[in-house]
């Protein structure tokens, strides 16, 4: 029998409000009787006037602020917002920032309503993986297109004490709405633009580069979105190029890359993310930089497992039609590396500060966090992951 996609449920209730001057419409989307806590990061929203626009749009509301959510948001910081909500009685949250602020806010929303120790929302060596039953409703204003957290129900939190970066997902932490103003990307520095394009690209890869199941729409969507990022990426990372067409395509593509439309009914492989989080735990490497430093090695070490999809990737995404299957695959891997380099992203682990004697630590972390049988078939053991780290350290394109 021909392989077919598996059964699935697709649910996504996020109202996306896309375009210019949408912050000014915030009051249309938040019930007028709500007491709103605005959450944000290290200060970019203050520096660039976004917070003032939000405060102005919410001038008739009772509002408070919680700033200081870091990149790779920590449990230790977010839990302070939970205390504030309980002490001051907020019943709506508004995240203004990138993936870190939005993820942090998802955790805060769930933790404020959680019966018991909020650490237990997480599993994987940190908590007990208990279900989230309630969450404070919230919306988002996205300032950095990368994670698609603005249109999904997942969050990744960094536990400094436990040395773990762990995710949870639950439909109760879908944002109620997300404002996507492409012009908010005009203040992003090159490093964050490159991170955003790369993270989105690798989200698509992780939902695509497995084995074929004839998910025709999923494959075509994924291939099309990757081609868009390849086409616009090098221009998007030019921080002085404030072309609205470019930035609007960048923003919407990054959201579509992980609003789960690509993953329904097809296998997924989140091993690059799984291995990458351990690098961030080790030395605070930016999320996307951990991924681009690993992906070429994942493609090489897992070539036989991903063979058919790698050939399809070469042909449909990179237009490689000449040569044997293996030559096409090798050409596609080189083109992927060249694409990351054109964005200024690292393509091996030495470039993100990992040294040979760190590999044992990274593999120990994988074990502690339960990542011993990962990838699309669950056959990526610690030995395979060690080999990926090893090759990612020594590869030099
Ligand atoms: O903190 P501020 O001062 O606001 O500065 C931020 C931060 O330093 C800055 N920035 C954001 N918008 C800006 C801006 N600077 C100038 N102009 C703007 N418009 O950018 C820096 C990085 O922000 P951050 O939110 O950390 O970046 P990103 O959106 O890449 O988020 C990364 C986090 O998301 C998680 C990652 O693990 C990481 O913790 N992820 C979440 C996912 C999800 N929820 O589905 C999936 C992803 O795979 C990822 O794991
Ligand atoms: Zn990611």
User: Is residue 183 a contact partner of residue 50, using CB atoms and an 8 Å limit?
Assistant: no
Q: Which of 167, 184, 201 is the last residue of a domain?
A: 184
Instruction: Kindly list the strands in the beta sheet with 177-180, ordered across the sheet, starting from the edge strand earlier in the chain.
Output: 15-18, 177-180, 138-142, 92-97, 35-40, 62-66
Q: Is residue 364 part of a domain?
A: yes
Gap from CA of 254 to ligand 1 centroid (Å): 13
| 231 shares a domain with 116 | no
What one-character-per-residue DSSP string does 170-237 give?
A: -GGGS-SEEEE-GGGGGG--HHHHHHHHHHHHHHHHHTTSS-----HHHHHHHHHHHHHHHHHHHHHT
Q: Which of 157, 184, 211 is the last residue of a domain?
A: 184
User: Is residue 140 a contact partner of residue 94, using CB atoms and an 8 Å limit?
Assistant: yes
Residue nearest to ligand 1 atom 15, measured at CA: 188
Residue nearest to ligand 1 atom 7, measured at CA: 71
Structure tokens at 65: 């602020």
Q: Which residue has the tokens 């998910």?
A: 215
| 167 shares a domain with 232 | no
User: Is residue 189 a contact partner of residue 282, using CB atoms and an 8 Å limit?
Assistant: no
Q: Is residue 10 part of a domain?
A: no
Which phi and psi (to 5°) does residue 295 adopt? -55, -45
* Number of domains observed in the structure of the chain: 2
| 134 shares a domain with 120 | yes
Q: Is residue 46 part of a domain?
A: yes
Parallel/antiparallel/unpaired status of strands 154-159 and 164-169? antiparallel
Find how far residue 3's CA is from the centre of its chain: 29
Give me the pLDDT at residue 396, please. 84
pLDDT digits (tens, 9 = 90+) for 63-72: 999 999 999 9
User: What angle do helix axes 190-206 and 216-236 make, rounded to 10 degrees?
Assistant: 170
What is the C-alpha to C-alpha distance for residues 250 and 197, in angstroms, rounded to an integer?
Answer: 7
pLDDT band at 359 (very low <50, low <70, confident <90, very high): very high
| 168 shares a domain with 26 | yes
Q: What is the mean pLDDT of residues 256-264?
A: 98
Bridge partners for 157 per DSSP:
166
Say whether pLDDT at 1 is over 80: no
Q: What is the mean pLDDT of residues 3-26?
A: 97
| 133 shares a domain with 201 | no
| 369 shares a domain with 304 | yes
| 179 shares a domain with 206 | no
pLDDT band at 102 (very low <50, low <70, confident <90, very high): very high
pLDDT digits (tens, 9 = 90+) for 167-217: 999 999 999 999 999 999 999 999 999 999 999 999 999 999 999 999 999
| 206 shares a domain with 179 | no
Which-ligand-closest: CA of 291? 2
Gap from CA of 27 to ligand 2 centroid (Å): 31
pLDDT band at 2 (very low <50, low <70, confident <90, very high): confident
pLDDT digits (tens, 9 = 90+) for 285-322: 999 999 999 999 999 999 999 999 999 999 999 999 99
Give me the pLDDT at residue 317, please. 98
Residue nearest to ligand 1 atom 43, measured at CA: 149
* DSSP class of 167: E
Q: What is the mean pLDDT of residues 372-381?
A: 98
| 195 shares a domain with 161 | no
* Average pLDDT of the residues of the chain: 97
| 159 shares a domain with 195 | no
Gap from CA of 70 to ligand 2 centroid (Å): 16
Q: What is the mean pLDDT of residues 52-73?
A: 98
Q: Look up the CATH number of the domain holding residue 23.
A: 3.40.50.1970
Q: Which of 166, 184, 202 is the last residue of a domain?
A: 184
What is the C-alpha to C-alpha distance for residues 246 and 231, in angstroms, rounded to an integer?
Answer: 10
What is the C-alpha to C-alpha distance for residues 319 and 209, in angstroms, rounded to an integer?
Answer: 16
Residues with CB under 6 A from ligand 1: 41-45, 48, 71-72, 97-101, 103, 143-144, 146-149, 152, 154-156, 184, 187-188, 192, 195, 199, 258, 273, 287
Gap from CA of 83 to ligand 2 centroid (Å): 29
What is the C-alpha to C-alpha distance for residues 292 and 226, in angstroms, rounded to an integer?
Answer: 15
User: Is residue 138 a contact partner of residue 97, using CB atoms and an 8 Å limit?
Assistant: no
Where does the chain have alpha helices with state H? 44-47, 50-57, 75-88, 99-111, 190-206, 216-236, 244-257, 271-283, 287-301, 307-316, 325-343, 359-368, 382-394
- Give the domain extent around 93: 15-184
pTM of the model: 0.98
Q: Which residue has the tokens 């990992």?
A: 354
Parallel/antiparallel/unpaired status of strands 177-180 and 138-142? parallel
Gap from CA of 323 to ligand 2 centroid (Å): 33
pLDDT digits (tens, 9 = 90+) for 124-165: 888 899 999 999 999 999 999 999 999 999 999 999 999 999
Say whether pLDDT at 272 is over 80: yes
Which-ligand-closest: CA of 147? 1
Q: Is residue 9 part of a domain?
A: no
Q: What do you get for the CA distance between the two ends of the chain, in Å?
A: 41
Say whether pLDDT at 247 is over 90: yes
């Amino acid at each position: 029998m021909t392989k077919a996609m598996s059964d699935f449920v697709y649910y996504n209730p996020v109202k996306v409000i896309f375009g210019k001057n949408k912050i000014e419409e915030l009051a249309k989307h938040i019930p007028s009787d709500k007491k709103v806590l605005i959450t944000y990061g290290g200060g970019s929203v203050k520096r660039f006037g976004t917070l003032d626009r939000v405060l102005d749009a919410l001038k008739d509301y009772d509002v408070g602020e919680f700033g200081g959510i870091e990149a790779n948001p920590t449990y230790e910081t977010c839990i302070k917002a939970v205390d504030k909500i309980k002490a001051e009685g907020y019943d709506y949250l508004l995240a203004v920032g990138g993936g870190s602020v939005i993820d942090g806010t998802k955790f805060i929303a769930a933790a404020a309503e959680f019966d018991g120790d909020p650490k237990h929302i997480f599993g994987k060596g940190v908590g007990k993986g208990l279900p989230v039953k309630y969450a404070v409703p919230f919306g988002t204003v996205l300032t950095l297109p990368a994670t698609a957290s603005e249109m999904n129900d997942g969050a990744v939190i960094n536990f400094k004490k436990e040395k773990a970066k762990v995710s949870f997902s639950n439909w109760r932490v879908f944002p109620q709405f997300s404002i996507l103003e492409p012009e908010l990307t005009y203040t992003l520095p090159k490093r964050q633009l490159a991170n955003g394009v790369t993270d989105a690209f690798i989200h698509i890869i992780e939902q695509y580069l497995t084995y074929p199941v004839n998910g025709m729409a999923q494959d075509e969507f994924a291939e099309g979105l990757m081609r868009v990022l390849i086409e616009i990426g090098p221009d998007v990372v030019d921080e002085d190029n404030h072309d609205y067409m470019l930035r609007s395509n960048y923003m919407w593509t990054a959201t579509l890359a992980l609003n789960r439309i690509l993953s329904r009914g097809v296998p997924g492989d989140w091993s690059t993310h799984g291995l990458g989080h351990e690098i961030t735990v080790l030395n605070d490497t930016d999320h996307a930089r951990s991924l681009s430093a690993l992906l070429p090695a994942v493609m090489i070490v897992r070539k036989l497992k991903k063979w058919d999809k790698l050939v399809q990737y070469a042909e449909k995404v990179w237009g490689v039609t000449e040569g044997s299957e293996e030559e096409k695959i090798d050409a596609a891997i080189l083109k992927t590396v060249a694409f990351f380099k054109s964005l200024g992203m690292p393509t091996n682990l030495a470039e993100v500060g990992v040294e040979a004697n760190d590999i044992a630590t990274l593999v120990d972390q994988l074990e502690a966090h339960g990542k011993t049988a990962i990838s699309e078939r669950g056959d990526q053991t610690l030995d395979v992951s060690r080999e990926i780290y090893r090759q990612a350290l020594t590869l030099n394109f």
